[in-house]
Structure 1
């Protein structure tokens, strides 16, 4: 079975129960963007295929040997179904969305009720008569990944560390203020922790702002790939983040975590982790699901103080 995984890190991680349920029964091929799909190469009975955005010719070549496989689309887009159709994959299964039903050999109507994104993916398996019993997020890591992370962190000399992930690809309405993260990081240092800031190159300046020259704070933004970040997460005392892909990475690795929510809804995309504490302000305008605050005050985020986050963390790891 060829599985077109979601394009976003968080969604791809919330779909990990799908990969696990299916790889227990047969060999699966996970097809998705290279930085994300590489995270899943340690699933059993699984092979990785690289999707290249904008390169239809290359993608068709990659899919050519799998015409007799079932193609399962976890993406909702017309373009992903069109690609599987053009590649000649005989069975194309997925949700009836984005006017693509005529391209699918089995088109499933999406659930009407509000459910968690993880359950949205599992609902598809159930509707298709595929195994869906396993529901936990998970991410198998090879020991080499963990050893690589330890080598990366050798300067810390085994000191306990807390990870801060200040980014969110969706937009500012999901991002706790950088000034709050800076204050939190400073207070964590006072409590005896080393702090590691992680993210992409986009967060490099924010990481430098949070570090503010303190030797106990490390800015790794833009310096690691996702597999390295996963290894570092697995060794952390805790992870503090916005509602982001890295939040779901912490959840899949069962790392103690604080998740700060603004414009989005924890009931739909909250961390599925028994070691998670979700912090959210109950405002009348939230969740709005907007990228930016239409009132321009971002009170849903600003009303969650660094002190509140620190107290939640102490409760979590005490």
Structure 2
């Protein structure tokens, strides 16, 4: 074994993947309990790791920051050549990861990728198991601090939420592409029914890139329902978004980073899958927390395309009433 310098974890680049890596990261910390754990991450996901108690420090994924952290071991969760080249150039002595993307010679321990399909969280745990690390539950957990929770409640209150009232979070966007997105008119129908028939407050969340979608959904809701439809897209940090999730009765989401964040926050999730494969990226729910996956079993899914070349039938065929029934079951909302 190398000297007992810090253990560097190179995070996946996307929020959903970073959340799905959390169980494997927890496994590493249990195994290397005597080492400081540092995470190198893109700016877009770095604040996720401020909610992971085992992580002592988060640095940007660049050569200078990693060199300054002086890790003796780096475990790479991305499959890319670039991630291995990064830690090699930073002078990290031990570089461990999957032997993919022509990077074997840059790794000191190169793990052969599994041949069988598996969930992405299991894929990350397979890596650390092959490195001799015992794996625990496939259950990402976050520690949402008081400041993040206060920020979340303050933002919700500014938009009209009364603390203690029933809140459903909806994440209608998806960074990967429109093929992953449930139809906005269906979201509008669902939000309208939740507000009008069930007295629920609905919070629409997402990044700045989702703001046009969330604004269109809120504008399409009947005027009498709009005060209980809160458009938070682009207004939350990741910790604040986790705080919003934590006070909700459920989250309705496409296959997205928000979906995985909600599951890690311990919230019941209704996950709507279209072009992507729920067997690979279903939300990792906490033990005992209900959740449902809604799909339309058409022949062409999962296609994994960013844009649908035909009629988006995998999503248009998911009627709002089906999703509403799933929300009723996981959140125990009654009409």
Tell me the TM-score normalized by structure 1. Answer: 0.94
2:84 to 81, 84, 97: 81
Q: Which residue of 1 aligns with 2:207?
A: 200
2:59 counterpart SS class: strand
Distance 1:202 1:44 in 2: 30
Q: What is the root-mean-square deviation in Å for CA atoms of aligned residues?
A: 1.4
1:311 to 307, 322, 325: 325
* 1:23 shift after superposition: 2.4
Aligned residues, how many?
Answer: 311
Q: Which residue of 1 aligns with 2:3?
A: none
Q: Aligned ranges for residues 232-243 of structure 1 at < 5 Å? A: 232-243=244-255
Distance 1:112 1:253 in 2: 31
Q: Which residue of 2 aligns with 1:108?
A: 111
Q: Which residue of 1 aligns with 2:4?
A: none
1:251 to 248, 263, 266: 263
What are the superposed Cα offsets for residues 246-278 of structure 1, whole Å, 9 maximum, x if unpaired?
110111112011100001111110112142100
Distance 1:169 1:249 in 2: 14
Q: Which residue of 1 aligns with 2:292?
A: 277
2:185 to 179, 190, 203: 179
1:23 counterpart SS class: helix
Contact 1:165 1:246 in 2 (8 A): yes
What are the superposed Cα offsets for residues 174-224 of structure 1, whole Å, 9 maximum, x if unpaired?
100111111111111112011110011111121111112511111111111
* 1:22 shift after superposition: 2.2
What are the superposed Cα offsets for residues 263-297 of structure 1, whole Å, 9 maximum, x if unpaired?
11111101121421000111111111111123x20
What are the superposed Cα offsets for residues 61-95 of structure 1, whole Å, 9 maximum, x if unpaired?
11113445101100111011001111110000000
2:297 counterpart SS class: coil
Query: Can you give the 5+ residue segments of structure 1 that lack an aligned partner in the other structure?
Result: 53-58
Distance 1:11 1:107 in 2: 21
Distance 1:210 1:253 in 2: 25
The answer to whether the aligner puts 1:289 opposite 2:304 as a matched pair is: yes
What are the superposed Cα offsets for residues 6-40 of structure 1, whole Å, 9 maximum, x if unpaired?
00000000001122222232321011012312122
* 1:51 shift after superposition: 2.3
Distance 2:300 2:137 in 1: 35
1:232 counterpart SS class: helix
The answer to whether the aligner puts 1:165 opposite 2:171 as a matched pair is: yes
Residues 235 and 60 (structure 1), Cα distance of their counterparts in 2 relative to 1, 3 Å cut: same
The answer to whether the aligner puts 1:91 opposite 2:94 as a matched pair is: yes
1:297 counterpart SS class: coil
2:56 counterpart SS class: strand
Contact 1:174 1:243 in 2 (8 A): yes
Q: Which residue of 1 aligns with 2:39?
A: 30
Distance 1:189 1:134 in 2: 37
Q: Aligned ranges for residues 9-88 of structure 1 at < 5 Å? A: 9-24=15-30, 25=33, 26-51=35-60, 59-67=62-70, 69-88=72-91
Distance 2:138 2:297 in 1: 28
Contact 2:271 2:292 in 1 (8 A): yes
Distance 1:68 1:217 in 2: 47
1:5 to 11, 17, 22: 11
Distance 1:73 1:41 in 2: 19
